[in-house]
Structure 1
């Protein structure tokens, strides 16, 4: 079903429950009850500080992050939910790498749990490049409810798409 594009790969029994919520027009209500408030991290500077706080708490030995920003060019379906890039440049005969994290602008109005899930995901890429067992273990170390937040974020994006906002 095209309305469940953000939920590809999830088991049929979950998708069936989501279809029922959509048919009953209750998906938004369920999400609103579970996550009533949006966060107040509205600027790139605040997002950088939020990300640095998480990094210093869980990944002190990871490479530094040079930039964290909301990015209106990220389309949440094609480019996932955020981007982590390492830009290498030659500077004075040395190769310098700069790590950047970009978060889709749609998450400016998201519940804090969803923003946290995105930031944790992108921070985990500082240590683990691939989406493997070690990567997801690191995500769960930084956010024990990581998998639930990821699923609920995808539900939220589905709801936005149904309203024509995503």
Structure 2
């Protein structure tokens, strides 16, 4: 599997630049310098509060969230870093909807900006189901540097994979 699997959709020139940084052993250092702030959201309750604060600020009129939590199985099983689910059930004559957001537990240790990017992404799905232009406009509304954060998160995932493979960075 390619060490740049998270960057497959990016131009070859950009991938070559990233490969040079990896070859020089500077990817981890570069990311640490760019994102020095440690993530303070460690528990499910703190994640719920963090997500609610963003939702209240940017998506006041959207449906309420029933649950927000870290999920240790998320990346392994679903190959996703975050998920949003909607479950509807009938209670009497009413239809009750529950909304959940699950965030891969690797974000407990990730820089704060990467957690924000994932939460913003999943919150945007409350309004837009598809990854279309409106979806990304909403993401940029909540996090103006969303595109850069998404790219840097891909670099971070590459860094984690290389570390797991025993490569020295």
TM class by shorter-chain length? Answer: over 0.9
Q: Per-residue displacement from partner, 1:81-124 (whole Å, max 9, x unpaired)? A: 10011011122232211110000000000111000000000000
Q: Please name the residue that 1:118 is paired with.
A: 118
Q: Per-residue displacement from partner, 1:20-43 (whole Å, max 9, x unpaired)? A: 011111100100110112211000
Q: Per-residue displacement from partner, 1:39-64 (whole Å, max 9, x unpaired)? A: 11000000000000000000000111
| SS of residue matched to 2:36 | coil
RMSD: 1.4
Where in structure 2 are there 5+ consecutive unaligned residues? none
Question: Is the deviation greater in 73-82 or in 90-99?
Answer: 73-82
Q: Please name the residue that 2:161 is paired with.
A: 161
Distance 1:5 1:76, change over 3 A: farther
Q: Please name the residue that 1:93 is paired with.
A: 93
Cα distance in 2 for partners of 1:78, 1:86 equals 16
Asked if 1:38 is matched to 2:35, the reply is no
Instruction: State the 1:13 CA deviation.
Output: 1.3
Q: Is the 8 A contact 1:76 1:104 kept in 2?
A: no
| Count of residues in Structure 1 that have an aligned counterpart in Structure 2 | 165
Instruction: State the 1:79 CA deviation.
Output: 2.9
Asked if 1:53 is matched to 2:53, the reply is yes
TM-score, normalised to structure 2, is: 0.93
Q: Please name the residue that 1:74 is paired with.
A: 74
| SS of residue matched to 1:51 | helix
Cα distance in 1 for partners of 2:9, 2:80 equals 14
Q: Is the 8 A contact 1:84 1:102 kept in 2?
A: yes
TM-score, normalised to structure 1, is: 0.95
